[in-house]
Structures are given as structure tokens and as C-alpha cells.
Amino acid sequence: MKKLETNVLDRRQILKSVGLGALTLAGTGISYNSVQATPEKASEYLSKVTGGATNSKGKVTVKLPEIAENGRTVPITVTVDSPMTDGDYVKKVHIISERNPQPEVISFNLSPSMGKAEVSTRMRLGKTQKVRAAAVMNDGSVYTGDKEIKVTIGGCGG
């Protein structure tokens, strides 16, 4: 009986490849901290998801606790002052983190049938930071709000 050949890597080959990849990354000077979100990266992300629209302060209220004892599950509520009618409503709400591994936390799609422009969720936060919310209106205008939160024990590997 003929033995079938397969292109399966054995454990040693996999470990060798992973080790070489880690050495290559180490040689580039890329570190864990250099791939963290920053206020600048958060601004870039905000510009990307809003199509570069000018952001106006106001209309958006971000409700977070002052201090999060544990960053693994932090409640957040974003409320937008909008009548939520067919002619004037919030189309999207984006929540953005300035100091997590990635700036994007979550995006919500809204419609006038919701009646109230309010979203709530729980998120992980790695460290003390400012959390931003952006509301994209049906006419393309963008309103933002933010709040600083102190995180004592990080939830994103911190």
C-alpha cells in the first residue's frame, strides 16, 4: 500500500517558523506599545468613519463612570440630542478609544423608528483614557462628545 504524502507541517516546523517571525519583528523595532491606539490614531479613525466631515462639539453626551475598578467591562451610554424624525435623525454612532490596542470600539446604525438616539453597551478599556463618541446625522453633519475615564485594572491585557 502506498503512503499518501501531505503538505502538513509538523510541530517543529511550526515552532521554527513562529520563532523566525518573532525574531524578524524584534529586529524591526516594532513593539507592543507602538501598535497601541493614540489620540492621533483615534482622530484618523474618526475622520475615516465620518468621511472627513467637520466635527462639531455638542449634541452628544457620553456617560461613563469616573473610575473603572476593572477595565474588562465598562458600561457606556451615548445620548444624542436629536428629534429622530424622518427629516432629522442620527444615522450612526461610533465609539472610539484613544488608548486601547485599536481605536474602534463599536459602531451603531440608527433609524428614526428608534424614537430616541441613545445606545448603551459594555466595553474593555486597557488604561486611563478619553473615550469619544461621534454621531453622524442623516444630512452628513457630525457631532462629537467625549469623557475621560480612569481605569485602575486594565481589561485589554493591562
Give domain limits for the chain: 37-151
| pLDDT tier for residue 22 given thresholds of 50, 70 and 90 | low
pLDDT, average across residues 26-34: 49
Q: What is the pLDDT of residues 88-143, one digit of tens each?
A: 999 999 999 999 999 999 999 999 999 999 999 999 998 999 999 999 999 999 99
In CATH, which of 3.30.450.20, 2.60.40.2470, 3.40.1410.10, 2.115.10.20 is domain 37-151? 2.60.40.2470
Q: Are 158 and 150 in contact (CB under 8 A)?
A: no
In one-letter notation, the amino acid at residue 84 is M
Name the grid cell of 17.
Answer: 517558523
Q: Are 126 and 71 in contact (CB under 8 A)?
A: yes
Of 104, 96, 133, residue with least CA distance to 118: 133
The pLDDT of residue 35 is above 70: no
Instruction: Read off the pTM.
Output: 0.75
